[in-house]
Chain A
């Protein structure tokens, strides 16, 4: 790492500060080359490393939920599709609406996380909450 930074040292410019993604080799190299210069580690990298277990836990829960719920939603969609082809237009329209909800559920279940800040289940939970509330509204309004 020191060799990699050698051209920068050779430039002779004044180094006011350094930043790295917190790899040990980088920390050691900048510490040796510029001991009196402030070194900042990338805070995203630090938070990403620090929250690795939490992110993994989120991923596991998301996968478990998807594994259990997604096949059931798919089955409902299959049945809706089959029925829609033969039913009256009004019922077909209501089934089409339900198919949109089913698609919404699948979308929520397939939400991906992105380290460090985006957690799949944290993103998916409000979507599923709202879908549930909206389905309850449909239920109140009634269906055939």
Chain B
């Protein structure tokens, strides 16, 4: 029985050979994708100091030219041809915007990098405030928190900030602040229900019990 089941499993696993050709093609397609990602992920740490829009762009263009040549020599399957054509087409369409971030330090190359820099800003403000949560600081600077450092950079920038602050409608500002605080509180509750359910429900029960104790008798 055991030997029979072992053989059966071996037979099932071996059946994947039916897709061997397609698997090999997909692996190649995936490999090309990773090659381009490797070209674009040209951090100075990996590449030395010679990373610029020009160097990365030139490597990318060389890769595109080489693949375009191979595309026409008939060595690829229909699937590879179709996928590679589409791949090169999109790269070509967006080429003017694809390699713009390497000449300036800290210019993000992906939205993930951008979000990482926002998280960095959060960390910085958490440290400044000594609080675990930066919401109070966000309330102070509002959506402009990312520009706070630039405004505080020199007298001219500070003056610009003062001019803008002088134009603020205080009532509107208070209203916005109240709305933002409320939105943050809602968000926190949703987060607690999703990630800290056990302790949050316990605290709600505790609040309920305390309220019930202090409620006047009917």
Cα distance A54–B85 in the bound complex, in angstroms: 11
Q: Is A72 a contact of B2 with CB atoms below 8 Å?
A: no
Give the residues from 40 to 64 in chain A that come closer than 8 angstroms, CB to CB, to chain B: 40-47, 49-54, 57-58, 61, 64
B33 and A64 within 8 A (CB): no
Q: Contacts A53-B82, A121-B26: A143 and B100 contacting too (C-beta < 8 A)?
A: no
Q: Encode contact with B along A102-125: 1 for CB under 8 Å, 0 otherwise.
A: 100100000000001101011001
State in angstroms the CA–CA spacing of A107 and B64 once bound together. 37
- Determine the residue in chain A with the shortest Cβ distance to B5: A98
Q: Annotate B1-31 by CB proximity to A: 1 below 8 A, 0 otherwise.
A: 1110111111011111011001101110110
Question: What's the tally of chain B residues with a CB closer than 8 Å to chain A?
Answer: 57
The answer, yes or no, to whether A29 is at the interface (CB within 8 Å) is no
Residues of A within 8 A of B151 (CB): 13
**Contact partners of A91 in chain B: CB under 8 A:** 1-2
Measured between beta carbons, the chain B residues less than 8 angstroms from A22 are: 94, 97
Cα distance, A54 to B25, chains bound together (Å): 9
Interface residues of A (CB under 8 A from B): 7, 11-14, 16-17, 19, 21-22, 27, 38-47, 49-54, 57-58, 61, 64-65, 68-69, 72-73, 76, 79-80, 83, 87, 91, 94-95, 98, 101-102, 105, 116-117, 119, 121-122, 125, 128, 131-132, 135-136, 138-139, 142-144
Q: Given contacts A57-B26, A95-B1, list 12 more A-B pairs with CB under 8 A.
A: A11-B164, A19-B114, A39-B100, A45-B110, A45-B111, A53-B86, A61-B19, A61-B22, A72-B15, A125-B27, A128-B16, A139-B6
21 intermolecular pairs with C-beta atoms under 8 Å apart:
A16-B104, A17-B100, A17-B104, A19-B101, A38-B103, A39-B97, A45-B110, A51-B83, A57-B25, A57-B29, A58-B29, A72-B15, A73-B12, A76-B5, A94-B2, A95-B1, A98-B5, A121-B19, A121-B27, A135-B13, A144-B3
